[in-house]
Every structure is written in structure tokens, then in C-alpha cells.
Amino acid sequence: MVAVSSWGRLGHWEHQVAPLHDRSRIAADLATHGSGLAYGMGRSYGDVCLNPGGKLWTTRNLDRFIRFDEESGVLECEAGVLLRDIQQLAVPRGWMLPVTPGTCFVTVGGAIANDVHGKNHHRLGSFGDHVSQLRLVRTDGSQLDCGPDNAPDWFAATIGGMGLTGVITTATLQLRRVCGPWLETETIPFHGLDEFFRLADGSEEAWEYTVSWIDCLSGSGLRGIFLRGNHADDESTVPPVGKPSYLGFTPPLSLVNRLTLRPANGAYYFLHRLAAGKKREDYRPFFYPLDRLADWNRMYGPRGFYQYQCVLPTEQRQDALSALLDETAKSKTGSFLAVLKTFGERQSPGMLSFPRPGATLALDFPNRGEETLALMIRLDAIVGEAGGRLYPAKDARMPQQLFESGYPRLQEFLPFRDAGISSALSRRLLGR
């Protein structure tokens, strides 16, 4: 048994770890007693990637490319390939992942199972929108290829299906053309939600990437930094990225706390206000700013942290966001990096995909036990009232009822589950 954690580091749990290596014999590897779950990089924050007391099939060694057509941008690879490796391979050849989350250290399988999104959701949707085919191996030994036109029900269940429909072993992705690795970006400081929505809505037409950082202590009076970007018409290459830094240890206390949060948020705001304006930027710092400190999750100390990410429907977004931000500011806890972004008006590909039209807010909270849980229950009330939903990839504690109200296609999803697969999250929210 090996103690395994997830990105939030809320604890370590004993698992039987069984690495998968050879994509041709996965059915045999899965044919074991007891429930298992595929585990990639462990970058989801809560318990969606954990199966305490059970098996974890680690996919990191399924890291082979299968084929890449430089004419069409179609890439087929094994599910343990990292998004970083795809970018490194594709960008010099004029292609890029159409959708990428805020870290490139996730596997393709994990990106599909959580149907991750990026800063360009309003333009290109979520990761699953660019998967044309995937292979699912089930614990009963069967195997099945599915895509938007081929067994589309299985496909819709598996995109965002939290790994519960089978083990994703290979995937075919459609990459997007880019001229080079450069982006034209603009940094704009703003005050208040009205200004945020004016900027966000006003940028949707002309800008592919939009996101904003906000000071979660400033309440609905809100100060923040709005970032937007477009691909630049520049073919020159970028230098290879340097090695990331490491904290290298877990501090005995969270470095993000009541004493440090206000000055840190203030410093971040003022530094970025100074840097306001347009510039040409390498895609890596723009897409993956946090990857520069490879183990930033350890900043939160030995007790770890929760991330709370919700999406609020467009009609309710202003009022609900004000309420959430006021509640968070009142608690004086909260995160160094709070992220606010609008999603586009489009239907997500998965039955349980997180993105839906509206605005999404992500907050990190250092784990202070009951106090933090109580705060999140107050936030749940606001999200539930507004008809919003929480993101399972970030979650370690949402009430079952909020999950059910947030994901109306849940009943449709359940028949596609693999009886031999279970996670801590599925036991918590789906009963097994």
C-alpha cells in the first residue's frame, strides 16, 4: 500500500498502486478484484482522483504518441501523455492544443475525464470539444472506441465522466493551427464587477483568451487585473523553458494566512498595475503562470487547501458573484490567486461537463477545518440559489444535493458507469 494525495494535499490515503505500461494489455491489468480508478498526475484538487483502500491504476507510463499528421493537425496518443509534451511537440510544427488549463502538467486522460477548460472557452469550448475519438477499456475486459459520431452516448458520458465509465487508454485530438508560440496580450486593472463584465463581455468578440485575477479580500467593491490575449503573427521560436523552481519543503504553517494575504494581494495588484498595457508574450507564462513554481500547493502547509470553483448562470451572475465575494471578504480568509472568468454561450460535450454559460469563480482556501467548511457551506447556499454548479475536479466536500441540482444530466450518466471503478468522490456523491 502506498500513501497517495491529490493537489489540495488535504490528506494522504493508502492505495494499492498498479502502474499501467502497455496499452495492448490493459484489459488484463484491470481484471482484478476490488474497485480501481485511473490516476494520472494527481492534479485535481480533491478526491475525484483518489480511491482510498482500493486500487489506483497509474497512467503516467502510457506516454507514447501514436501518430501525428502535420497536414491536418490530428494527433493520436496514449492517455498518460502530458499536455506539456504535446505543446513541446506541436508548437514548433505550427500546431497547438486548442484548449489548455492553467497547468500543462496534466495527462490527456485527466483532461478528458474532467473536461478541463481554458481561457478561451467562449471561443473554443472545453477540452472534450477537440477529442475526435477515444478508447475506453472496461473492467469486464471489453473495449470500446467512441467519439462524437461513434457511440456518441458513451463519448458524452466519458467526457467529464471523472474516469468512472472505464479507463481511457488512447485519444485522438484535433490540434489548432498557430503561427508560432507568441501571443499579443493586454493587462488591464479594473474596479468593480460592472467594469469586469464590461471588459469581459466587450472582449469576447475580438480576443480569444480572457481571464482575470481578483483580490478576494476586496469584496464586491472588487479590484482586479483583467488579462486578454490573441495569437500573434510571429513565427520566431522561443527559448526552451527553464527548469521550474521548487519550494522543496512543506512549511509548518500555511504561508497564505491572515497576516500575509492582504500584503500579498496588494503587492500582486500593484505590480500588475505597473505592468498594465500591451505586450508580446510567450504562450507558456501566459497559459501556465503557476507552473513556474512546480510545487506551489505546498505553500498551504501540512493541512492543505480547498479550491472552490463554481459557475453561475448568466442571468444571476452579477448578484450571486457580489454575494460570494462579500461572504469571502467577510471571512478574511481566501486565496492569493482568485480567478474570475466568463464562459461562452455553448453546450458542453459531456453529460457532466462543468462549463456552462455564465461566469466562473475559483477561490483557494487554506484548510482551517470547521471554519473553512462552514464558509463553503455559506457559499454553497448562494451558488445553489443562483442555479449554479461546482467543479468536481476541484471539489473535496460539496453536498450531494448541490451536485444533483447542478448536474441535471446525472441520471442519464449513471448507466454508463463501470461497476469495477469507484472513487472517493463517487462514493460521496453517487453512493458507490
Chain residues that interact with another protein, rule: CB under 8 A = 1-2, 16-19, 21-24, 61, 64-68, 70, 75, 89
> Of 20 and 311, which CB lies nearer to another protein in the complex structure?
20
Closest approach, Cβ 371 to another protein, in A, equals 34
> Of 86 and 321, which CB lies nearer to another protein in the complex structure?
86
> Of 89 and 255, which CB lies nearer to another protein in the complex structure?
89
What SS3 string covers 227-270? EEEEECCCCCCCCCCCCCECCCCCCCCCCCCHHHHHHHHHHHHH
What are the grid coordinates assigned to 136, written together? 475506453
Q: Which helix (H) or strand (E) holds 319?
A: helix 317-331
Residue 110, amino acid: G
Alpha carbon 94 to chain centroid distance? 25
Nearest Cα residue to 384 out of 368, 372, 400: 400
Closest approach, Cβ 21 to another protein, in A, equals 4
> What residue has cell string 496534466?
106
> Of 15 and 123, which CB lies nearer to another protein in the complex structure?
15
The C-alpha atoms of residue 426 and residue 349 are separated, in whole angstroms, by 21
Closest approach, Cβ 58 to another protein, in A, equals 8
Closest approach, Cβ 269 to another protein, in A, equals 38
State whether residue 213 is helix, strand or coil: strand
> Of 66 and 374, which CB lies nearer to another protein in the complex structure?
66
First to last CA, the chain: 22
Contact 163, 423 (CB under 8 A): yes
> Of 17 and 410, which CB lies nearer to another protein in the complex structure?
17
Closest approach, Cβ 26 to another protein, in A, equals 13
**Phi, psi (deg, nearest 5) at residue 418:** -90, 125
Closest approach, Cβ 19 to another protein, in A, equals 5
